[in-house]
Structure 1
Amino acid sequence: MDWASVTFGAFLGVAGTFGMLALALFPIMRRGFLVWIALRTLAFCVMGLALFPLELPDWFPSGAARVDIGEIALSLAVACTGPFLAAYLEDEPRLARARFWLTMFFPIGLASGAATALAPWWGWMDRVHDVLILSVILMLVATLAFAVRTGSRAARFQAVGYAPLIVVGLVVLTYELSTGTPMPYWPVAALFAVTVDFIVTGVGVIDGFMIIKRQRDAAVADVREARIAVATDPLTNIANRRGLALRFRDQNQQRPRGLAVIDCDHFKRVNDMFGHDVGDEVLIAVADGLRHEDVFPARQGGEEFVVLIYGNDWQRLAETVRRRITISVLELVPEVSFPVTASAGLTEIAEHDTLDSAMKRADRALFAAKDAGRDRLLVESECGTIGPHLLHSVV
């Protein structure tokens, strides 16, 4: 195996990896520049195949026709460079002028390829091809310089990646325009320059992908935090009515066995004697007392709370958290000189129950508990009426 085959094989390996990277990222990033990368890579591969000193099958054109195919492929690669960069640069108003000039690369590149195709009949078209390619290179240098000055991160990557290719292009075109003959071994130099282009551009694309991923992750986190904030009571830091509804409908959570509506007894007395600031501290202490394993607490509004209760021993657990309210307030708000008690209404949640239907039954039980003297929990009887089912004795 000769050095040409080894070198071109290495080039194809880099180009194939680069092209597959672009195609693999397209379904994730949905960015048009990845399609232009794939087209540009294919054009450069055809150029290398035609211009590099390799033994090709008999069906592939030879001689001047083979050189023309290589130069037409080069023109198509140049044509794709402009749309690629126009879509790749940051979508910011300050780069609008740069994007406009980059879009002009495509028609100029196509015109250059057409000039090469017409050169067998009109020899002067070769010079037209060279002049058009040279103009694109100069426009590329000016556009990249402008974009880099404006702070484009993508342009900085491409300036590094394109530097060898720009240098080779300027040297080759200057030589050909001044001598009228092709520069020796220019396809080899161009192939190495394109390889550098592929590697650096690939790093830049991955860098851009990571930036997009970080931005997306931050946006998802912001949305998650916003959803939590919307579903959380800002005073007590437990769920509000919206959070309660979301938890009740959550298919990923076990369905609760019971629901209790809990109301602090004579809460107005706390506010009247100690002020609303202390009243808020009492509500925070109540919420803290309701936190318990297999219990999901929520603040309904004012001094009224709702808890979803899980597990088989749901009735006993409901009474436990109700009693914890008095203990929690006593420990966390010692300036309140009397015990803060709570009344509760409890109901079992059936399979057909909605949150509203369960809360209506629990509300009726709560009113019955208040009428019975407060500081107690009452639960609906199985027949659907409120019965004197006191749970103090089972705890």
Structure 2
Amino acid sequence: MAEGARILALGAGLLAAAAPARAQSSFADATSMTWDGVLTGIFLGLLLFSLAYNAVFYRLLRERFLIWQSVRALSYFALTVALSPLAMGPWLAPDSFARQVWITIFFDLSLVVSGVFLRSYLEPGMVGPRLYRWLGWPPALILLTTPATVMPDADTYMMLRSAVLVAMLALCAAAVVIALKRGSRTARYQAAAWSGIGGVYGVSLFYDIVLGQPFDSFLFLLFPALGLEVMLTAFGILDRLMRLRRERQEARAQAEAMRIIAHTDPLTGLPNRRAIEESYNDEPPVAIALVDLDHFKAINDHHGHDVGDRVIFAAGVALGSGSALAARVGGEEFALLFRGAPAAVAIEAERLRQRISAYVKQMVPLLERPVTASMGLVHIGRDTSFGAAMKSADINLYAAKESGRNRVVFIEAA
């Protein structure tokens, strides 16, 4: 007997209670229930749950294996419905040839999709590149052998089909075993999920190839095995998704930490030149200032660079304590971005400049002389670029240095 006919015949017996076979059934017949019907309903419910489950998580993580698992679940669902005695029009009557073709197509489709599902489901690097490719396209060869299930006297064709099915099982088994050896957590779930199905398929192929007869208990064992596979795969997918979500959160946190490091001055903790330029471009300020510590080289020469670093740190604390955005843009040079009322800029700038001396005196008391700072301040226009604004502020800073240091040189517009 051809494989498709055998599946159809066994399915009709297994799922006879899934729906009334005749519209003229009595009320008692229509409401009667058997364990076969209950188990079939449970299995269909599991499939619908799996589809909803995959759809919800796909919206969150957009993983391809959720799509392939949904295709597998739809194939199982269509196969189960086709095996029931439900009348679906004259072309798809329970004993029709079209119904038999439907059964074999969805049966084979569920197998074909398993390969691409597995290779996208396992963690990256758990199978080699060659096996990864084999899991993609060779399973599609199964569809080339599907006609053998509905063709009479096609023994050679059926042998080819059996060989392809064996190869498919071997590929999936090899992928799971290799992934297990490499420590795949996902492979553990899938090995357990497929153990029942693999056993049923293996016995069926033994009957077909070695004994030359059909395995009559095939469907009676297959559907419980499929139900177990759906449940365990759902648990495996949940575990895989939770780990993916955690990995992505850790990656985002690491990327944010790297971004902060790349935009932060390590000595003062203030933003660096890159960060202040980005802030300038995102929201142009009303004014910009450059601040330079006076005679800083003498501090390094007389007290050492460690004391010089403490002075720079104290200056950074002073400048960062105000309403302006402060950044360290060079050795002892800082920049300030002022936002808000333009009229208050000059007062705030002078307050911050004088605060440097007080903070350095308090935080580095060993210095004999007070540390002062010079500042070049400039109001900027709406279309002024960061480079142009910094250049104008630098010109004013140079003027402050030339005119005696320890002061602000301010120009109303740039």
Give your verdict on TM over 0.5: yes
Deviations along 1:238-289, whole A, 9 cap, x unmatched?
12221211111124xxx43322221111212211211222111111111111
Q: Which moved more, 1:212-221 or 1:234-243?
A: 212-221
Residue 277 (structure 1) aligned to one of 306, 323, 332: 306
Q: Which moved more, 1:304-313 or 1:18-27?
A: 18-27
Answer yes or no: is the 8 Å Cα contact 2:204–2:214 preserved in 1.
no
Tell me the percent identity. Answer: 32
Structure 1 partner of 2:9:
none
Q: Which moved more, 1:276-285 or 1:127-136?
A: 127-136
CA–CA distance in 1 between the matches of 2:96 and 2:155?
12
Deviation at 1:129, TM superposition (A): 5.5
Answer yes or no: is the 8 Å Cα contact 2:376–2:395 preserved in 1.
yes
What SS class does the counterpart of residue 301 from structure 1 fall into?
A: coil
Residues 1:70 and 2:99 aligned together? no
Query: Structure 1 residues 95, 330: closer, same or farther in 2, change over 3 A?
Result: same
Residue 368 (structure 2) aligned to one of 337, 346, 358: 337
Residues 1:152 and 2:184 aligned together? yes
Answer yes or no: is the 8 Å Cα contact 1:83–1:105 preserved in 2.
no
Residues 1:324 and 2:358 aligned together? no
Letter of the 1:163 partner, please give it.
S
Answer yes or no: is the 8 Å Cα contact 1:52–1:187 preserved in 2.
no
What SS class does the counterpart of residue 338 from structure 1 fall into?
A: coil
Relative contact order (alpha carbons < 8 A, sep ≥ 6): 1 or 2 greater?
Answer: 2
CA–CA distance in 1 between the matches of 2:291 and 2:176?
68
How many residues are treated as equivalent by the alignment? 378
Residue 49 (structure 1) aligned to one of 74, 81, 84: 81
Structure 2 partner of 1:235:
267
Deviation at 1:293, TM superposition (A): 3.9
Structure 2 partner of 1:210:
242
Structure 2 partner of 1:389:
none
Residue 86 (structure 1) aligned to one of 119, 123, 140: 119
Query: Structure 1 residues 265, 352: closer, same or farther in 2, change over 3 A?
Result: same
CA–CA distance in 2 between the matches of 1:347 and 1:104?
67
Query: Structure 1 residues 292, 143: closer, same or farther in 2, change over 3 A?
Result: closer
Residue 394 (structure 2) aligned to one of 347, 350, 363: 363
Residue 306 (structure 1) aligned to one of 321, 335, 341: 335
Answer yes or no: is the 8 Å Cα contact 2:126–2:182 preserved in 1.
no
Query: Structure 1 residues 344, 63: closer, same or farther in 2, change over 3 A?
Result: same
CA–CA distance in 2 between the matches of 1:44 and 1:261?
70
Answer yes or no: is the 8 Å Cα contact 1:108–1:136 preserved in 2.
no
Q: TM-score if structure 1 supplies the norm length?
A: 0.82
Letter of the 1:81 partner, please give it.
S
Answer yes or no: is the 8 Å Cα contact 2:190–2:232 preserved in 1.
yes
Answer yes or no: is the 8 Å Cα contact 2:286–2:338 preserved in 1.
yes
Structure 1 partner of 2:12:
none
Residue 199 (structure 2) aligned to one of 167, 172, 184: 167
Answer yes or no: is the 8 Å Cα contact 1:85–1:99 preserved in 2.
no
Letter of the 1:165 partner, please give it.
I
Structure 2 partner of 1:391:
none
Deviation at 1:64, TM superposition (A): 6.8
CA–CA distance in 2 between the matches of 1:135 and 1:99?
14
Q: Which moved more, 1:97-106 or 1:255-264?
A: 97-106
Structure 2 partner of 1:393:
none
CA–CA distance in 2 between the matches of 1:318 and 1:135?
77
Residue 142 (structure 2) aligned to one of 96, 109, 126: 109
Residues 1:292 and 2:321 aligned together? yes
In structure 2, runs of 5+ residues without a counterpart are: 1-30
Structure 2 partner of 1:12:
44
CA–CA distance in 2 between the matches of 1:374 and 1:143?
74
What SS class does the counterpart of residue 154 from structure 1 fall into?
A: helix
Residue 190 (structure 1) aligned to one of 213, 222, 234: 222
Deviation at 1:294, TM superposition (A): 1.7
Deviation at 1:347, TM superposition (A): 2.0
Deviation at 1:344, TM superposition (A): 1.5
Q: TM-score if structure 2 supplies the norm length?
A: 0.79
RMSD between superposed Cα atoms in Å:
3.1
Deviation at 1:349, TM superposition (A): 3.0
CA–CA distance in 2 between the matches of 1:150 and 1:369?
67
Query: Structure 1 residues 333, 114: closer, same or farther in 2, change over 3 A?
Result: same
Residue 346 (structure 1) aligned to one of 377, 382, 388: 377
Deviation at 1:57, TM superposition (A): 4.5
CA–CA distance in 1 between the matches of 2:147 and 2:45?
30
Structure 2 partner of 1:60:
92
What SS class does the counterpart of residue 180 from structure 1 fall into?
A: coil
CA–CA distance in 2 between the matches of 1:168 and 1:64?
27
Letter of the 2:305 partner, please give it.
H
Q: Which moved more, 1:343-352 or 1:104-113?
A: 104-113
Structure 1 partner of 2:286:
257
Query: Structure 1 residues 121, 275: closer, same or farther in 2, change over 3 A?
Result: same
Structure 1 partner of 2:23:
none
Answer yes or no: is the 8 Å Cα contact 2:326–2:336 preserved in 1.
yes
Answer yes or no: is the 8 Å Cα contact 2:376–2:394 preserved in 1.
yes
Answer yes or no: is the 8 Å Cα contact 2:82–2:103 preserved in 1.
yes
Structure 1 partner of 2:257:
225
Letter of the 1:115 partner, please give it.
A
Deviation at 1:125, TM superposition (A): 6.3
CA–CA distance in 1 between the matches of 2:87 and 2:142?
28
CA–CA distance in 1 between the matches of 2:157 and 2:383?
82
Residue 180 (structure 1) aligned to one of 213, 237, 247: 213
CA–CA distance in 1 between the matches of 2:213 and 2:132?
34
In structure 1, runs of 5+ residues without a counterpart are: 385-395
